[in-house]
Structure 1
Amino acid sequence: MNEHIARDVVLVRAIELADQKKEVLSEDDRMYASRSARELAQWQASDKHADVTPDDFLQQRSEQILKRLTERTPAFAGFAKRSTGLRALAWLLPLLALALGAALDRITDPHRVDLLSAPLLLIIAWNLLVYLGLLISLFIPARADGGPKSGLIRRLSVGKLAVPRKVPPVLATGLLGFMGEWSQLSAKLTTARLGRTIHLSAAMFALGAVLSLYGRGLLSQYAAGWESTFLDATQVHSLLSILFAPAIAVFQLQGFSLAEIEALRFPQTTAPEGGARWVHLYAATIFLLVVLPRLVLALVANWRAARLSRRFPLDLDQPYFRKLNETIGAGTGGMLRVLPFSFTVDETRHRGLGQIAIMLFGEQGRMMLRPSTSYGEEPREALRDVDLNDPNVTMTAVLFNLTATPEKENHGAFLDYLVKASPRGIAVLLDESSFVERMGQADQRGLAERTALWQEFCRFHQTTATVVNLLDPSIHPLDAGVGLKLSAAA
């Protein structure tokens, strides 16, 4: 699916996940949207003599839901069609750069071509440093947090982090969730587009500087020369020979000798030489070292952005999409593999785990319960026969008992091993049923404190815990795509 369809699908998902109590979208709304989308997708597929695909179904369903929300909440319509301003920036920034480059002659002598022109030398030197930085960045792994740049990418991806007024609180929560999620999903696309704009702007700035040289030369007589407090003619000749070597070789331009450089030093005792030759040398050098490479980089970034826009990388294997795809027969169910740690699962809780699998993956969801790992047992030994890369397993979850106190040497070591060994990441389930049975429903403060302790412990070990009640899974429903938060793959 393309970028625009993916954006609508992610927006609808964020709203549905925030609207757990069906305040904005009733169950009838969702069922009607799914039924209509299925019929429309089947009709379109029949015209193409093809099978219905999840992409077609999700596109039609998101359009149905967004249309209904727009009719009910006019303030939402503006958000659904809101532009980030990145497209305008892609045109304005290169045009502004061209104008600034053309105005560069305002800080130089209008009747003189300086062989050591600081603005032109800075343009070339800066771009060479950029190329070096880009080359070095290829060998440096990207940081997960992205630093200050991530804030700019986030702003360009979703625009201003604000929701429209006069929208229901639940809808506002969903929109905020969407902005956070979309900024992450579209980060690569936004980075490619920003890179395209920056490279094109750099090329336009250099091109503007060259155009200003030729434009001014039409109306003024250039006198070529140079002056320096610290460089002599030999050093200047060596510097310019290296700088202009590519232009002389490619365009067969006239070279220069040491005697010519010495004669061009200000103040000159002879009639000043015309500057046309040096304008051509600088223009050709800037074209080869700045304009051409930057245009190539802009084209590469544009190709990358176009590819990502046409085939947006949205993971349709997530529980939310799996459950929706069941309605068109495209889902094959999912397998939830549970790894208990120092936890004996009785028959009732076993059924509760089965219900959680159905919540996550739809009616065809299945659950695989592995033997419990004993307290103090070495993780590698306990899990020696567990294939953590099994393609038949959709999600692997560790099951802890909330009554236990988390320990770094045991629970932490178990999590650390799984996080490093699981290529697709792991989830963590915290069963509160035993704690509630022991302490009673009245001890809500103790339950909250123990839950917070476990969640902080799991975050320290690079996982995110999800609280469940295996005696009554409906207490904490994992509706469609709330799912289980996965750790980052090692």
Structure 2
Amino acid sequence: MNEQVARRVVLVRAIETADAGHAVLSEDDRKYASRSARELAAWQASDSKSAVTQDHFLQQRSEQILKRLAERTPAFAAFQKRALGLPGFWAALPLLALFAGALLDRIADPHRVDLLSAPLLFIVGWNLLVYVALLVWALVPGGKTGLAGQGLLRRLGVGKLAAPRKLPAALATGLGNFMAEWAQLSEPLTRLRLSRTVHLSAAAFALGAVVSLYARGLLTQYAAGWESTFLDATQVHTLLSWLFTPALAVFPFLQGFTLAEIETLRFGVQAGVEAGAGAATGAAPGLAALPGALSGTVDAAVASTAGAGERWVHLYGATILLLVIVPRIVLASIAALRARRLARRFPLDLEHPYFRKLADSIGAGTPAVLRVLPYSFTLDEARDRGLWAVAAMALGAQARVLLRPTVPYGEEPKEALQVGLQDARFDEAGVTVTAALFNLAATPEKENHGAFLDYLARNSKRGVAVLLDESGMLERAGGQGGAEARIAERIALWRQFCSFHGTAATVVNLLQPERHRIELGAGLALPELR
């Protein structure tokens, strides 16, 4: 699915997950949306003579739900119409860079072309440094190009992380969760778009400087030259030879330069040459005529400085075109193509329990698999059946349970899991959700339960859910007074403990699964986004 469809699907998931009490979307609303989506997806598939796909179903269902919410809540309808992020940023930054490049060139002397122009040398040198940095980043395994922080990427992706006012509590929570989740999901796409815009801005900045240089030359007679306290003519000639070699090689019509010409273009020498030329031609009465040899040098210098400004403008313009504008446009084009491809095929994880349960309702895809890793907890036959019921509620009626051997209390997680999983493949094919199963009656301990969760989190790419079975604690409490309060305290303790270890907990009752109905929108509590 493309970016727009994925955004609507993620928005609906966030709203349904937050609306566990059905305050915004009733059960009838959800069933009606699913039924209508199945019919619309079937019609769409019949028109294209293909099978009903999960993408088509999710697209139709999200449109149905969002349309109904917009009809009921005007504030939500206004939120849907607004663009996420900073849409004007992508066009404004290159335009600002274009004007900034023109202004930077204006800072220099507007009546001369400085062979050692600081603004122009800065443009070339900075971009060459950027190319080296990009090459180094590309060679580093797993390295990310760019220095954009999470805050900037989040602002560009979703804008301010604040839901509109005058919304029901569940809907406001859902929108807040959506924006936080979408900022993370769309980060690769936002990073590519930022890369494209930065490269375009760098090209525009250089283009602005070159255009300003040529534009001023239409109305101004440039005097070409250079001056330096520390560099002599030989060093300047070597520097400029290296700088202009690409332009001279690609554009043969450009005129080169010699060491003698560089010497005569030094501003202090030019002043003396002009004074000497004036004396030789009688322009300065009272001065003696120059000797013949010096007169020939003066004539050559005067001849060489005539039209020198135009030559150096062309050299700088061609050099910036080759070393800055063209490479930056190529890099921007590559980033734009990658961003367009990613926007057309947005990588949304449809193996999430929410999506797998919806896919099960239309018979799309393979049945979901819940892999359970019990810790110091042995399941009897009744609790095993309850575990299958929990999987069906969370992942769909066709879901299957993959129950692994119990990890003994206090044993090293690595050794215990390698025995249970043979080769410790936490991300084996076909597994939808991996869940650690604990007895709620146990007190969470950092050295044991925490180490177990940390090890699972490090070795599972999709994260780990936590199931807390309350059946044993309820049996033990019986009808004692204050049992409900003690159970509530223990649940809060476990949830805080799981949150500290980067995951979230779902309370279940394996003897009476119907006591905690896992809603369609919620599914199993998975690790929080970071």
Greater gyration radius: 2
TM-score greater than 0.5 by the shorter chain: yes
Distance (Å, rounded) in 1 between the aligned partners of 2:466 and 2:209:
59
Deviations 1:34-80 (A, max 9, x none): 11111111111111111111111111111111111111111111111
1:251-400 to 2 correspondence within 5 Å? 251-252=251-252, 253-267=254-268, 268=270, 269-270=272-273, 271=302, 272-273=305-306, 274-383=308-417, 384-386=419-421, 388=425, 389-400=427-438
Give the drift of 1:461. Answer: 4.8
1:152-163 to 2 correspondence within 5 Å? 152-163=152-163
* Conserved 8 A contact 2:405-2:420: no
Shift in alpha-carbon separation, 1:148–1:97, aligned structure 2, 3 A: closer
Task: Name the SS of the counterpart of 2:405 in structure 1.
Answer: coil
Residue 45 of structure 2 corresponds to which residue in structure 1? 45
Give the drift of 1:433. Answer: 3.4
Deviations 1:428-482 (A, max 9, x none): 2232333444456835665455445544554555544433333444454432353
Q: Does 1:116 align with 2:116?
A: yes
Counterpart pick for 1:406 among 437, 444, 449: 444
Residue 24 of structure 2 corresponds to which residue in structure 1? 24
Shift in alpha-carbon separation, 1:441–1:393, aligned structure 2, 3 A: farther
Distance (Å, rounded) in 2 between the aligned partners of 1:462 and 1:352:
26
* Conserved 8 A contact 1:163-1:172: yes
* Conserved 8 A contact 1:318-1:481: no
* Conserved 8 A contact 1:336-1:393: yes
Letter of the 2:395 counterpart: F
Residue 74 of structure 1 corresponds to which residue in structure 2? 74
Larger CA deviation: 302-311 vs 159-168? 159-168
Give the drift of 1:233. Answer: 1.5
Distance (Å, rounded) in 2 between the aligned partners of 1:147 and 1:437:
56
Larger CA deviation: 117-126 vs 76-85? 76-85
Residue 185 of structure 2 corresponds to which residue in structure 1? 185
Give the drift of 1:114. Answer: 0.3
Question: Cα RMSD between the aligned structures?
Answer: 2.5
Residue 196 of structure 1 corresponds to which residue in structure 2? 196
Distance (Å, rounded) in 2 between the aligned partners of 1:355 and 1:109:
80
Shift in alpha-carbon separation, 1:11–1:256, aligned structure 2, 3 A: same
Task: Name the SS of the counterpart of 1:217 in structure 2.
Answer: helix
Distance (Å, rounded) in 2 between the aligned partners of 1:353 and 1:85:
42
Shift in alpha-carbon separation, 1:476–1:245, aligned structure 2, 3 A: farther
Distance (Å, rounded) in 2 between the aligned partners of 1:296 and 1:177:
37
Shift in alpha-carbon separation, 1:85–1:318, aligned structure 2, 3 A: closer
Give the drift of 1:385. Answer: 4.6
Task: Name the SS of the counterpart of 2:149 in structure 1.
Answer: helix
Normalising to structure 2: TM-score of the pair?
A: 0.85
Larger CA deviation: 177-186 vs 258-267? 258-267
Question: Could you list the runs of 5+ residues in structure 2 that have no partner in the other structure?
Answer: 274-301
Q: Does 1:228 align with 2:208?
A: no
Question: Could you list the runs of 5+ residues in structure 1 that have no partner in the other structure?
Answer: none
Distance (Å, rounded) in 2 between the aligned partners of 1:337 and 1:218:
75
Task: Name the SS of the counterpart of 1:344 in structure 2.
Answer: coil
Letter of the 1:307 counterpart: R
Counterpart pick for 1:432 among 446, 459, 470: 470
Larger CA deviation: 213-222 vs 408-417? 408-417
* Conserved 8 A contact 2:456-2:464: yes
Q: Does 1:34 align with 2:34?
A: yes
Give the drift of 1:322. Answer: 1.3
Distance (Å, rounded) in 1 between the aligned partners of 2:376 and 2:366:
32
Residue 9 of structure 2 corresponds to which residue in structure 1? 9
Distance (Å, rounded) in 2 between the aligned partners of 1:210 and 1:429:
65
Larger CA deviation: 89-98 vs 281-290? 89-98
Task: Name the SS of the counterpart of 2:52 in structure 1.
Answer: coil
Number of aligned residues: 487
Letter of the 1:348 counterpart: A
Letter of the 1:48 counterpart: S
* Conserved 8 A contact 2:30-2:65: yes
Deviations 1:105-143 (A, max 9, x none): 321111100011111111112212222222222316458
Give the drift of 1:179. Answer: 0.4
Residue 171 of structure 1 corresponds to which residue in structure 2? 171
Give the drift of 1:254. Answer: 2.2
Letter of the 1:195 counterpart: S
Residue 100 of structure 2 corresponds to which residue in structure 1? 100
Task: Name the SS of the counterpart of 1:275 in structure 2.
Answer: helix
Give the drift of 1:325. Answer: 1.6
Distance (Å, rounded) in 2 between the aligned partners of 1:200 and 1:339:
51
Larger CA deviation: 62-71 vs 244-253? 244-253
* Conserved 8 A contact 2:86-2:155: no
* Conserved 8 A contact 2:504-2:527: yes
* Conserved 8 A contact 1:196-1:299: yes
Letter of the 1:306 counterpart: R
Counterpart pick for 2:507 among 453, 462, 467: 467
* Conserved 8 A contact 2:20-2:522: no
Counterpart pick for 2:519 among 468, 479, 488: 479
Distance (Å, rounded) in 2 between the aligned partners of 1:345 and 1:117:
79
Task: Name the SS of the counterpart of 1:368 in structure 2.
Answer: strand
Larger CA deviation: 410-419 vs 353-362? 410-419
Residue 89 of structure 1 corresponds to which residue in structure 2? 89
Normalising to structure 1: TM-score of the pair?
A: 0.92
Letter of the 2:339 counterpart: A
Overall identity of the aligned pairs, in %: 66
Task: Name the SS of the counterpart of 2:371 in structure 1.
Answer: strand
* Conserved 8 A contact 2:101-2:206: yes
Distance (Å, rounded) in 1 between the aligned partners of 2:125 and 2:481:
70
* Conserved 8 A contact 2:105-2:119: no
* Conserved 8 A contact 2:353-2:433: no
Letter of the 1:401 counterpart: N
Q: Does 1:442 align with 2:443?
A: no
